[in-house]
Structure 1
Amino acid sequence: MDTEKQHTLPPDGAAASHHSSRSSSQVGVTHSSSSPAVQCPAHTTPARITTKIDLHLVPFLIILYLTAFLDRVNIANARTFGLEADLGLTSLDYNTALTIFFVPYILCEIPSNILLKRFSPRIWLSICCLGFGIVTICQGFVQNYGGLLTTRFFLGVFECGMFPGCFYLLGMWYRREEAQKRFSLFFGSTSLAGAFGGLLAGAIGKMDGVRGWNGWRWIFVLEGAGTVVIGLIFLLTFPGFVEDAKWLREDEREYIKARLHADQGHSAADKKITFKDFKNVMKDPKVWLGGLMYFGLIVPAYSYAYFSPTIVKTYGFSPIMTQLRSVPPWAAAFVFAMVVAVVSDWAKHRFLFAIGPICVSIAGFAILLNVHHNLPVQYFALFLICMGTYSAMPIIVCWFNMNLGGHHRRAIGSAWQVGFGNIGGIISTYSFVQSDAPLYKKGYSICVGFICLSAVSCILYAFVIMRENKKRTRAGADQGLTESEKAELGDLNPEFRYML
């Protein structure tokens, strides 16, 4: 995906000189001048190696998270095909079924990333994929409300590792200036899942009555079965960390590790994560701001994912047409997110590319709060909400994750951001209740409030890292630290510079 003009990255000493002359909003890791240049193996080029990584890593992550997100939100599609009536759900039962998913999902994020590092991404993420695929199939056989709650709970148990684990893995392969396109392409699988889920539900819904089953049961069974097949394949083929990649030559592996070291500092890949590491990471206020940035966007994101078919249905469409009408906003969101990501990587900047889409999303909710009798305009507002929210989220996650240095700080920090942020998922499940239909003013207002929280957190985070960069530049890079101490510090290393 990327084209690199030179086969040799600048020596660390040159990087030090270069970064000291740049503004504090730029990025860099400076090291001692005695460090050697990062030399690309003679048989290949940097661009070819990057493309090789893309082909061996990104498609797996996209497919994995597409299936996870599809199995998570297909309950919204099932709802339009009679799930509530068949199971005798009343009042807020549907909302509670959505909520219970997030309980284990939130609590198990950090333990899951620790287990991922211990067992390898291939083993751990593939097992999780098999697990939530089987649970999704089981959802198709539930006979009552209790059964639905049980399956949603275990869906959260198995899906908890998908999002932070995949972002963690991406962050251990790419430099910061080339990461956003990959993060957004991976995150775009949520948009693809939304679009594909609508099309798939529309097609599967036509099986309503086959073998005496209503359409919503077929949605769960068929989509879950597809996930199980994918999980079995991934158990044999899923990629891992750079240190374990057998599809790389030894000199290629060393080159990738060296250029990541030049960009992000020491990874400390061989260091076990301890409870002391967890405490040290959680003392950093930047980590809490990273969680708040994501938390603020989760509420509108899950509100849209879980309730957009319900909102579209209030416009007077049939169940099949409701599914089909839900597809275009997701497709537009994927395209917009990739455009934002490409420009963000080109500019080597994240902050403004997070704030811009946030404003787009706010505009969409503002329209829905004020326009109630113009269906084309209301439908257009759904495009703005989906495009803005699902473009800002990957920017925020990539920005925060790639500003964390070292395996242990990134493993803990990325899981914390996603785990804490998904508390917003609980709020979203009760933001849109049936008694507020069809205007849903309360739900739209809640979403706007949380988006504003995300925007404020982004501004504070930008201020903190700019101040830290200036402080480190004034103090100078030579702090007399050993290589082991630098690895232990990660992005707290005085030589590290945060990306704005």
Structure 2
Amino acid sequence: MAKDIEDGRHSVQEKTIITEVPGDKEHVELAATTVEIPDYTPAEVRRILWKLDLRLLPMLAFFYLLAFLDRGNIGNAKVAGMQTSLGLTGSQYNVALTVFFIPYSLLEVPCNVVAKILKPHIWLSIMMFFWGICMTLMGVVHGYGGLIAARWFLGVCEAGFFPAAAFLLTLFYCRYEVLRRLAVFYSCASLSGAFSGLLAFGLEKMDGVGGLAGWRWIFIIEGFLPIITSVFAFFIVPDSPETCKGLTQEERNFVVHRLQMETGSGMGQVTNNDKMTFGMVLAALKEWRTWAAVVMFWGCATAVYAFTFTIPVVILELGYTAANAQLMTIPVYVVAMLFVIFWAYVSDHFKVRSTFIVIGFMFAVCGLIALLCIPHPKMPGVTYFFLFPTAMGIYCPQQLIVSWTANNSAPSSKRAIAMALLLSIGNLSGVLGSNIFIQNEAPRYWAGYGTCLGLVVAAQIMALVLRRSYAKINAERDLMSEEEIRAKYTDLELIQMGDRSPFFRYTL
């Protein structure tokens, strides 16, 4: 129970928050601690969230822009002459795209285990430094083997970044606040495409500088950026609300308390202070709904990776010069970025995920069908136009899916594994996305556009299946009274149950 105290400025309440106490490695020990929290007005709550936004979003968005820039700039390098310079033949370019995703996907779950154990400022800094090294070295390779090795180790070093950064946001924001922040953060994947085209356009002009081809400078310059940034990241990345600089102690307590009350029913509590245990890892791995979400993630991720690697080439094949093809990718990515943010705000406003996943994918369905039907390359303007709804429809559902998984996974250790599992298996779609746009099918790309269309439709069907499952469980829990639940379980048992608690309600 909360106890009101008057401090001269606010009505201060004594509230209970759950904190971790020392225990052995196999058991979670939590304790209830009473803290004083002012009764903040809605305007003051928005001010606190704004302080968190300024502390987290520009930083993480810039980091992710660098990550996506470095994994996708190989498409720009190809247009700039890399394939000819390295003597790549047949499917060698596609293999170079593919090898990145093998370690990138397989290492995401263990990386998020490390992220939960290590402090985020240490883990994120380490990853950025080493993927910058790999990217820089890619600019000095002299053959197919060197390119393959550099792409492999780039995948190793980038593997844990996105799941760790996305998980970090869930430690600061409530379930209907986190998506719009994830969207701003993730939209930098779209923005990186635009920035990559612009940067590649400029770096190509360095052709011959230092005796190096222009495509090499794309890798070298874009590799130095994360190396430099990693030094700053070590000092500025916050580890948790409890230790976040820029907030008062009362504000920190308030952020922690409101997150712990996020059960969806107004009763019970969840916690972000649980330890990572083997049992919680198993609980996440055995959750079939997370595996079902992977199907949805494949629908957008396959298309996103295929689109990123192929769009400069598609535009080039419409009859434009290489330089203009680089520049013409920019409007497509900018529009996609703005739509991702808008769609996230709408979903948060209506507090629904599945509906907006299905509708979002419809933009991609319309765009992909059109690209399959257009008689390439006879109608370049029409082809270019339909790249826009395609980009909007494949980018906007991705963070809805990540957010939906995060909203419905508790406590935080299970959420960390569930998010990493979704991204790990989901990002294996990069292997598929790297190989479905086959050069000898240019400019129609039947396999590429057709595969993306099939996966998008499958994702829509799975979204409806998951919604039905979650709604059924919510309805069953609504029939249970609070007295009945508390008679059966202790408070600590309910907290440790996470999303299995009868108090927990799933987001639809």
Question: Given the two structures, how large is their TM-score scaled by the length of structure 2?
Answer: 0.89
Q: For each residue in 1:430-451, what CA deviation from the matched residue of structure 2 results, as whole angstroms up to 9, or x when unmatched?
A: 1012111111111100110111
**Match of residue 29 from structure 1:** none
Q: For each residue in 1:340-369, what CA deviation from the matched residue of structure 2 results, as whole angstroms up to 9, or x when unmatched?
A: 112222211222211111000111111110
> What amino acid does structure 2 have at the position aligned with 1:464?
S
- Check if 1:450 corresponds to 2:455: yes
SS at match of 1:438: coil
SS at match of 2:409: coil
User: 1:43: Cα distance to partner?
Assistant: 13
Between the aligned partners of 2:227 and 2:79, the Cα distance in structure 1 is 25
Between the aligned partners of 1:40 and 1:319, the Cα distance in structure 2 is 59
Between the aligned partners of 1:224 and 1:488, the Cα distance in structure 2 is 43
Say which of 400, 410, 416 aligns to 1:411.
416
**Match of residue 66 from structure 2:** 67
Say which of 361, 364, 368 aligns to 1:361.
364
- Check if 1:498 corresponds to 2:481: no
For the Cα contact (< 8 Å) 1:291–1:417, is it kept in 2?
Answer: yes
User: 1:247: Cα distance to partner?
Assistant: 3.0
User: 1:482: Cα distance to partner?
Assistant: 2.0
User: 1:253: Cα distance to partner?
Assistant: 1.1
> What amino acid does structure 1 have at the position aligned with 2:104?
Y
Between the aligned partners of 2:441 and 2:456, the Cα distance in structure 1 is 21
Cα 1:39–1:499 shift into 2, 3 Å: farther
User: 1:92: Cα distance to partner?
Assistant: 0.5
**Match of residue 45 from structure 2:** 46
SS at match of 1:184: helix
Q: For each residue in 1:198-247, what CA deviation from the matched residue of structure 2 results, as whole angstroms up to 9, or x when unmatched?
A: 11111111111222211110000001111211111111111222133233
For the Cα contact (< 8 Å) 2:295–2:426, is it kept in 1?
Answer: yes
Between the aligned partners of 2:245 and 2:408, the Cα distance in structure 1 is 28
- Check if 1:132 corresponds to 2:140: no
Say which of 289, 294, 298 aligns to 1:291.
294
**Match of residue 15 from structure 1:** none
**Match of residue 433 from structure 1:** 438
For the Cα contact (< 8 Å) 2:289–2:466, is it kept in 1?
Answer: yes
> What amino acid does structure 2 have at the position aligned with 1:252?
E
**Match of residue 497 from structure 2:** 489
- Gaps of at least 5 residues in structure 1 are 1-6, 13-34
Q: For each residue in 1:343-401, what CA deviation from the matched residue of structure 2 results, as whole angstroms up to 9, or x when unmatched?
A: 22221122221111100011111111001221111101111111111111111111221
Between the aligned partners of 2:260 and 2:272, the Cα distance in structure 1 is 11
User: 1:78: Cα distance to partner?
Assistant: 0.3
> How many percent of aligned residue pairs carry the same amino acid?
35
User: 1:57: Cα distance to partner?
Assistant: 0.8
User: 1:280: Cα distance to partner?
Assistant: 1.5
User: 1:267: Cα distance to partner?
Assistant: 4.6
- Paired residues, what number? 472
Question: Given the two structures, how large is their TM-score scaled by the length of structure 1?
Answer: 0.91
User: 1:8: Cα distance to partner?
Assistant: 9.4
Between the aligned partners of 2:212 and 2:12, the Cα distance in structure 1 is 61
Q: Which moved more, 1:260-269 or 1:355-364?
A: 260-269
**Match of residue 326 from structure 2:** 323
Between the aligned partners of 2:58 and 2:13, the Cα distance in structure 1 is 31
User: 1:485: Cα distance to partner?
Assistant: 1.6
SS at match of 1:475: coil
User: 1:270: Cα distance to partner?
Assistant: 3.7
For the Cα contact (< 8 Å) 2:172–2:259, is it kept in 1?
Answer: yes
**Match of residue 198 from structure 1:** 197
For the Cα contact (< 8 Å) 1:73–1:306, is it kept in 2?
Answer: yes
Between the aligned partners of 2:468 and 2:37, the Cα distance in structure 1 is 32
Between the aligned partners of 1:64 and 1:280, the Cα distance in structure 2 is 31
> What amino acid does structure 2 have at the position aligned with 1:339?
F
**Match of residue 209 from structure 1:** 208
Between the aligned partners of 1:120 and 1:244, the Cα distance in structure 2 is 11
Between the aligned partners of 2:289 and 2:344, the Cα distance in structure 1 is 23
**Match of residue 20 from structure 2:** none
SS at match of 2:502: coil
Q: Which moved more, 1:472-481 or 1:299-308?
A: 472-481
**Match of residue 477 from structure 2:** 472
SS at match of 2:89: coil
Between the aligned partners of 1:108 and 1:355, the Cα distance in structure 2 is 29
> What amino acid does structure 1 have at the position aligned with 2:429?
G
**Match of residue 21 from structure 1:** none
**Match of residue 26 from structure 1:** none
**Match of residue 160 from structure 1:** 159
- Gaps of at least 5 residues in structure 2 are 1-9, 16-33
Between the aligned partners of 2:11 and 2:223, the Cα distance in structure 1 is 47
Q: For each residue in 1:54-92, what CA deviation from the matched residue of structure 2 results, as whole angstroms up to 9, or x when unmatched?
A: 011111110111100000000010000111111111111
Cα 1:374–1:499 shift into 2, 3 Å: same
Matches for 1:57-456 after TM superposition, within 5 Å: 57-264=56-263, 266-372=269-375, 373-456=378-461
**Match of residue 27 from structure 2:** none
Q: Which moved more, 1:231-240 or 1:191-200?
A: 231-240
Between the aligned partners of 1:188 and 1:285, the Cα distance in structure 2 is 28
Q: Which moved more, 1:43-52 or 1:210-219?
A: 43-52
For the Cα contact (< 8 Å) 2:297–2:459, is it kept in 1?
Answer: yes
For the Cα contact (< 8 Å) 1:268–1:408, is it kept in 2?
Answer: no
